[in-house]
Amino acid sequence: DPGSGAVAGSGGGVAGVAEMVAAHPCQHAGCESVFRSLGALQSHTRTHLEVFPYECLVPGCMRRFKWRSSMAYHRKTHARAPGGEEAGAAPEAGEGERAGQAA
């Protein structure tokens, strides 16, 4: 996934000794990805699992997403729906929206 923090050369190559000390390798069988941070590894792990921690908050919408960015992109589909408003959707905490500003 974009911006994953993967260590250069982690697509099958061997990273240098200094990189390996602080690196976080993926433990999934057959995956050779290595990441600089634990958070990047945790995000990457979702690619191997059927985990969908982000859900659309629009009433009646049951969509769930692996990535916060995918959920944010999906929310825009509700704004384009007939009527033009996101029927009752509250902004997500930390999405960078300012008070009083439409999504």
Per-residue CA distances from 45 to 14, 26, 35, 77, 93 (Å): 20, 7, 11, 27, 23
State pTM to two decimals. Answer: 0.48
Q: How far is CA 43 from the centre of its chain?
A: 6
The pLDDT tens digits along the chain (103 residues) read 444 555 544 444 445 545 455 689 999 999 999 999 999 998 899 889 888 999 999 999 999 999 899 999 999 988 875 654 444 444 444 333 333 334 3
